[in-house]
Chains A and B, each alone.
Chain A
Amino acid sequence: MQIFLPIADIPVNVFLVLAMGLAVGFLSGMFGIGGGFLMTPLLIFIGVQPAVAVASVTSHVAASSFSGAIAYWRRNALDGTLALTLLAGGIVGSAGGVALFTWLRTLDQLDLVIELSYVTLLSVVGALMVAESVRAISRSRRGKPAEMRRPGSHIWFHGLPLKLRFKRSKIYVSAIPVLAIGFIIGVIGAVMGIGGGFLLVPMLIYLVRVPTATVIGTSMVLIFITMTATTVLHAATNHLVDAVLALILMVGGVIGAQFGAHAGARIRGEWLRLLLGLLVLSVGLRFAFELVLQPDDLYSIRLIEGAV
């Protein structure tokens, strides 16, 4: 069944878009990621203009992460204090990111910076996660405890002042690294137009030693707050959020997120990290191939917004 999207100006198959929303929502609920880095390329692939895709995906991410966050909250598997501390850093980071975005645009190399940082971030983060989770799995196969909650001694920044007790996560660390992670996610999110869940989850697990059990729900809270705000900002400044597209994506996304959150809670932490690592790595490699292989068509056209 075809339906015409009023802002994107193209007809799409409702069931195809619904299925895309469902699949990405499932992964979102399972891994605590927004899924924008998966959904935006999918929408561009079916013919939606990139700007409309980026703007509309934010509302899908908001919906599915809210749906997921409720599921984790019900299971008491999210850490509100941690989420709020991250948010505080994130707000400052977003402001910095917008300034950086404006500056990069004056250099006329924004596309390249975004593409290269995408490839680097996704590949490196994905590869590190795969390597670590494979080690953890093989360790558990040999009969040793798989969950190394606090391996070795504390990293230096755990000794910084301003220590906070994050009760749900059972950690007692300085607020400074948590704020810094929120800040970094905020900067990257604003520059690259992504929620940053795929970076936030591994950073919280590996740097702050948040247990896998609470990290996903916490990440979903942060993502749903930032993406709800981003949806309003996109609609107010670019007028490119497509309500019909957003609604179809949302309906699929929120249902998928419920099932995803359920599946995520049943998988062991190290397997979850392995799967997320593989997902992130494969998307990174796909972008890398796109950059390295000769494209079918060297030329592309793009609408110029506003008059010349």
Chain B
Amino acid sequence: MRTAFAAALLIVAGVLGSAPATAERLVASLTNHHVTITSNYTGVELVLFGSVQPDAASLGRHGPYDIVATITGPRESLRTRRKQRVLGVWVNTQARIFVDPPAYLAVLANRPLDAITSADNLRRMQLGIANKPLPELIHNDIGEVSNDPFRAALVRLMTERGLYSEQSNAVTFLTPTLFRAAITLPTQVPIGDYAVDVKLFAGGNLIAHTESAFEIVKVGFEQFVVNAARDHGILYGIAIAMMALLTGWIASVAFRRD
């Protein structure tokens, strides 16, 4: 079933891609494609902006436009655990492993998703957090679990950390064809590559889409520390141990209390 949907989606995308002359063109870009993390990083905001370029054929044919932008961060496997009371003590009794869910997921739109297009379309295009596949590892098998409380907990906890968000008022149309959207990256942002997928809807139908990307990297001293810790573990450890003994010794000389 899923493959059939995917195939259908591909055909739709193919039709759109191969016939740009008969439809609107969607152009989008980001203010910054390269977010650097330095020692004073405390979160950042990127701006996605773009415009819809109607051609002669489509001019005036469509109603107002709708934009849905999905920002997907790097993927990391997570374990969601549930506590239960056992002999009066709360312990983690059950756990589910989620295979490579995005560590950051933001769905930005100019109005509620269900007002933009049908629930069926949203599901097929995997739009909105509820429609994102978050596969779990079940008995060495990877699959989706519907109505899973562990999935709901994962989404809730990630939302509380500012890593997952779905905002129906984040995209603003400055003119009927020019839009902008703010992408908020929290302080505990995962390092890596981020994909930005922008979809243009009109009258409930997908009429164009475009993609962009940005990366979050550490630079300078931060990157040096990460490389040293990863590539030269023993030397790095000895350096830290020496640092510990040195600071201990300096303090015992400088703050002598007897």
Q: Does any Cβ of A come within 8 Å of B47's Cβ?
A: no
Contact B90 A292 (CB under 8 A): yes
Contact of A300 among B39, B41, B92, B191 (CB under 8 A): B92
Contact of A6 among B77, B85, B218, B247 (CB under 8 A): B218
Chain B residues with Cβ below 8 Å from A2 are 40, 42
Q: Does any Cβ of B come within 8 Å of A170's Cβ?
A: no
Contact A307 B90 (CB under 8 A): no
Contact B91 A112 (CB under 8 A): yes
Contact B240 A241 (CB under 8 A): yes
Contact A235 B233 (CB under 8 A): yes
The distance from the CB of B133 to the nearest CB of chain A, in whole angstroms, is 16
The distance from the CB of A119 to the nearest CB of chain B, in whole angstroms, is 9
Known contacts: A11-B41, A59-B240, A247-B243. The answer to whether A302 contacts B225 by CB under 8 A is: no
Q: Does any Cβ of B come within 8 Å of A3's Cβ?
A: yes
Give Cα A270 to B188, complex, Å: 46
* Residues of chain A at interface, number, CB under 8 A: 68
Give Cα A237 to B237, complex, Å: 10
Contact A292 B97 (CB under 8 A): no
- Of all chain B residues, which has the CB nearest A300? B81
Chain A residues with Cβ below 8 Å from B41 are 4, 11
- Of all chain B residues, which has the CB nearest A3? B39
Contact B40 A62 (CB under 8 A): no
Q: Does any Cβ of B come within 8 Å of A206's Cβ?
A: no
Contact B90 A255 (CB under 8 A): no
Chain A residues with Cβ below 8 Å from B99 are 308
Q: Does any Cβ of A come within 8 Å of B137's Cβ?
A: yes
Q: Does any Cβ of B come within 8 Å of A246's Cβ?
A: yes
Known contacts: A2-B42, A67-B248, A247-B243. The answer to whether A304 contacts B97 by CB under 8 A is: yes
- Of all chain A residues, which has the CB nearest B84? A298
Chain A residues with Cβ below 8 Å from B243 are 59, 63, 243, 246-247, 250
User: Which one, B1-9, B153-161, B165-173, is touching chain A?
Assistant: B153-161
Contact of A11 among B42, B137, B226, B249 (CB under 8 A): B42
Q: Does any Cβ of A come within 8 Å of B15's Cβ?
A: no
Which positions 190-232 of chain A face chain B at CB distance < 8 Å?
224, 228, 231-232
Which positions 75-98 of chain B face chain A at CB distance < 8 Å?
76-85, 88-92, 97
Contact B157 A10 (CB under 8 A): no
Chain A residues with Cβ below 8 Å from B82 are 298-299
Contact B258 A262 (CB under 8 A): yes
A selection of 10 A-B contacts at a CB cut-off of 8 Å is A59-B244, A66-B244, A228-B241, A232-B234, A250-B247, A295-B90, A298-B82, A301-B157, A303-B77, A308-B77
User: Which B positions have Cβ atoms within 8 angstroms of A?
Assistant: 37-42, 76-85, 88-92, 97, 99, 137, 150, 153-154, 156-158, 187-191, 218, 221-223, 225-226, 228-230, 233-234, 236-241, 243-245, 247-252, 255-258
User: Which A positions have Cβ atoms within 8 angstroms of B?
Assistant: 2-4, 6-7, 9-11, 47, 59-60, 62-67, 70-71, 74-75, 111-112, 115-116, 224, 228, 231-237, 239-244, 246-247, 250-251, 254-255, 257-259, 261-262, 265, 290-295, 297-304, 307-308
**Across chains A and B, which 4 residue pairs bring their CB atoms closest together, nearest first?**
A235-B237, A66-B248, A254-B251, A299-B153
